Amino acid sequence: MKKILLLGSGELGKELTISLKRIGCNVIACDSYENAPAMQVSDQYEVFNMLDSNKLNKVIKAHKPDFIVPEVEAIETQVLIEAEKSGKNVIPSAKAVNLTMNRDRIRDRAKILGLPTAKFAYAETEEQLISEAKKIGTKVAVKPVMSSSGKGQSYATTEDELKSSWKFAIEGMRGNRKRVIVEEFIDFDYEITLLTILEKSGNVSFCEPIGHFQERGDYQYSWQPANCSKNVILNAQDAARKMVLDLGGSGIFGVEFFIDKKSRIIFSELSPRPHDTGMVTMYTQNYSQFDIHARVLLGLPLPEVKLNRSGASHVILADENATGNYLIEGVEKALEDKSIDFRIFGKPYLKSYRRMGVILAENLENAKAAAKKISIKSKL
């Protein structure tokens, strides 16, 4: 039985833990707060700040895991680099985790590899942000170099908006790197996530592309397969293959692209782990992204991955002003549509717009309708 140290215990970590448990693994779930979703289904858990290198080292030494599997951005990645040098298996690789936990480093790497990207620059002060934004264009996106799920991301066109974006980015950043990326606003036609699988042998394969829509910088709904031309898919696969082979290791990667009005792909982001938009695969594929990641990280042969049916996912969000303990209402009404499936993540408390569950359905229209029937609000 392999021992897995899971660094990050949210909803993606919970589903990955379930997949790992099904094939006999022992999972230690870690996060900064108690009773996180993955902790509810793991064998053991640890609560600590994963940006604290001393505490992270202590946990690794105490548990002696066969595999260290990061599932969030807020990790002191230098510890993982040293752990890999000492013989630990970091998934997909320490290089991949270190680069992708920081938007500036992965964006620089994409440019070196020749992937098409938006124009971008970096800023470490509000004044520098304003200066760099003026060089790029009239409308820009501003993001912390270290964050997750769209936290701290905004758009700006005026100097006042740029000042607000700076403050929002700093408040939303994870870690201690007070730096933002400012990039050209792409008037894209649509966005896709290409789940890209890298096996220990070096073989690269792909799931069907997933279309997705974001709001407040965070995914709201996704569908698979995305309506892409063959040329778009081939170009995206070529770019994703270059990226994952350069990063190395084994596992599943969520590679995001903008597709512009001329059907050109533009690299956006890369996650070295299962992706939030990929939750739709729990409905559409014979093996979900979590099942795939579990098998590939262990070095097991990968079965043929098939799209059994089309489908869509839609987030179930907490109310705008929600805090603390909560009530979930309307699930019975949502399930009156017999094609609907759902997951409630079991997060211990609410925050404004926090992602608390997901609807899975045969199409986007049904997913949206079901999600509207469910309310998650503060308990009075």
The set of catalytic residues is: 148, 150, 256, 269, 276-277, 355
Minimal CA–CA distance to 204: which of 170, 164, 162, 249?
Answer: 249
Residue 224 identity (one-letter amino acid)? Q
- Whether residue 207 contacts residue 281, with contact meaning beta carbons closer than 8 Å, is answered with yes
Q: Coil, helix or strand for 325?
A: coil
Task: Strands of the chain (E only): list them.
Answer: 3-7, 26-31, 44-47, 67-70, 89-90, 120-123, 140-144, 154-156, 180-184, 188-198, 204-206, 210-215, 218-224, 251-260, 265-271, 311-317, 326-329, 341-344, 355-361, 375-378
Cα(183)–Cα(164) distance, rounded to whole angstroms?
16
Dihedral sign of CA atoms 193, 6, 98, 216 in order: positive
Cα(271)–Cα(149) distance, rounded to whole angstroms?
11
**Strand-pair partners of 10:** none
Residues 6+ apart with CB under 8 A from 358: 11, 279, 313, 314, 315, 316, 342, 343, 345
Task: Strands of 282-372 (E only): list them.
Answer: 311-317, 326-329, 341-344, 355-361
Please state, in angstroms and as integers, the Cα–Cα distance from residue 294 to each residue in 4, 27, 92, 262, 305, following that order: 10, 12, 11, 37, 14
Write down the residue that tokens 């807020």 correspond to: 74
